[in-house]
Every structure is written in structure tokens, then in C-alpha cells.
Amino acid sequence: MQEGVILKEISIEEVLESQNSIIVDVRTPKEYEEDHIPDSINIPIFDDDERAIIGTLYKQKGKEIAVKTGIEITSPKLQDFYNKYLTLSKQYNQIILYCFRGGMRSGSLVNFLNEMGLNVLKISGGYKSYRNYVLDYLENLGMKHQFIVLHGHTGTGKTQLLEALEEKGCCVLNLEALAQNSGSVYGEIFYSGKAPTQKWFDSRIVKILRESKFKNVLMESESKKIGKVTLCKSFWDTMTDGKHILVNSSAQNRVIRLVKDYTKYNTKDDEYLKKSTARLKDTIGTKAVEDLINKIENKDYEYVAHFLILNYYDKLYSYSIDKYKYDMSVSSDEIDLAVSKILEYYDNAEKEI
């Protein structure tokens, strides 16, 4: 190592507050896909197969053989790595690297790049320190934020309200969008993206909350499980202990909203609608399911939506709605008026802090 070059480490807290920095995840694409520090980029030292080979060698033949193999795999890539990091150094004030534990992968590359004259830092503890930060943030949610939770039967426009309130500048957690699932038997119809891993779901929640300038956070009431992800106990407790707003709407407007959502891709959704409806046999009976599927095939979506409201959705969610004491209620039949009322409530809640 050239004289004066010292391997520098930076804490995850400092990383998250850094300005004009680029964070580089040097783990494999598979590791990166499962979860990563938001806004980081992936420049893997090993691809997934190479990482598997080294891991197997480490277990079967020991550290020395694994390290030698790692060097053999990495050496031909050093010129490319240098070129990529040189380009980044001209765009950002700081380059910050991390691997899983902040050990050999990131440490070796940081050493090499510093020897080449680049100013590169390593995250102390690597991804593991970041994941611990996320878990700690979630565990202490109640000390950092107050949740204002919208409740209401399916079709009352809660998501529409949240989107409008976010445009007004409120801090909003759209949990269904983050989970890519609306939480019911028809949950995936509203979202076309890939469901996130649990860790990435947690990361995105913490990013939104950490970057918010507000203590109060608006969200829709959810069950503990949303599609393939789960709300942790501390999140659930903070949501339960928060402020609660009941959203009402006429049956006619609820039907209109559901039809619009169910048929946004026209006939493409019909097969999904029929497949999802078939799962309701144990809940509403075989005869009702057959009738609904026939209505879907005949494009009578209004009938289907109205039937589901009366015989599925309201019965399913009435208990969870009735168990709360509400701080206020609004009608979403006039969306702009409802947004105005909730916004006023939100602003007053911020002033009370």
C-alpha cells in the first residue's frame, strides 16, 4: 500500500446522512436482489456462481484454498473495477463500498482502489450493520413516529385518499404498493410488479420514514400479512396505538371504484378474476362462485362487485373495522372535501408534537 493510504471505515449512520456519495454493493446479484441499502448500486466482485464455488471450497477444503480461488477469479477483473470506480470518483465526492460483513470482499477492493489513488471508504460491519439499523428502527417506531390510520370497507377509496394526501406533502406509507399486493384474495390484481422480499419491504419502509420531516405518518389499516410480506410486531403495535380515521362511501361509489380497479386491463384481468373468484368456494359457496364466474365472462362487473361487497368484503372486514374507536370520520363520496378534512387533521397533529 502506498505511503499515507489508510483503509477508512464509515458507520452506517454516517453513510445514510452523507451527501453526494455513491454507495456500492459488491455482493452478488442474488444478495443485492434480496435486499440492499436503498439507492446503492451493484458492482459485484463475484457473480452468483463464483460465490457458490468459493463458499463450497471454504467448507470442504478450508480458507486458504478458497482465498486463492477468489484471487484467481478476481485478478482478471481488476482493470475493469478500476475503470468503473475511476468514473464514479469523477461524479461523486465519496465512494462507499460494502459487502456482507464489511470483511474480505469490500476490504480487499478498498485496499486496491486506495493504492490506485482513489478515495474509497468501507462501511463498518457491511450489509449486516445496515440490516441491524433497519431492525432497530422498526423496533423503536413508536418513539419516532405516530401513525394516522385510514379504515373503511373495500371500495371506499382509501388508497385514492392516500395518493392525494401524499401529493399535498404528507408523509404516506402505501403499504399495499410497497408489498405489491392489496391483501385480499384479489390482492395481486392491482399491482403488476414483483413481490418484494421481506428484507427489501422493511428497507423501503424505513427509507420513507427516515427521510420524512414529519412525525405523523398516514397509512391504510392492514392485516399483519400483506401478500408475501409481514408487518413486524412493533409496526403493528404502533399502528394499533395510533390515531384512527373512518372512511365511508355510498354503495354505488364503492361499486364504481371496484369495477374500475378490477377491469383496468380489460379482458386480460378476466382470467385472473375467475381464478381468484374460484378460491372463494369455501367462503361463499360453489353455486355463488359459478354464478360470479358466469357474470365475469359476460362482463357484468357491476353485479360481481356489488355481490362481493355484500357477501364477501364487508363480512370479512367488519370485525377489524368495528373494533377501533375513531378520532374522526369522513365521506369519500367527495374526494376533495375528504382530503381537505384529513389534511387539516394531519396538520393539527403535527402542531401538537
Q: What is the CA radius of gyration of the chain?
A: 25
Cell of 316: 370479512
Report the distance separating Cα 339 and Cα 64, nearest Å: 63
Report the distance separating Cα 188 and Cα 276, nearest Å: 10
171 is catalytic: no
Residue type, 153: H
**Cβ within 8 Å of residue 85, ≥6 positions away:** 24, 95, 113, 118, 120
**Cβ within 8 Å of residue 199, ≥6 positions away:** 34, 35, 131, 134
User: How buried is residue 105: exposed, middle or buried, by Cβ count under 10 Å (0-12/13-18/19+)?
Assistant: buried
Of the candidates 105, 130, 2, 122, the residue with the CA atom closest to the CA atom of residue 46: 105
- Catalytically annotated residue among 99, 170, 171, 232: 99
Annotated active-site positions, please? 99
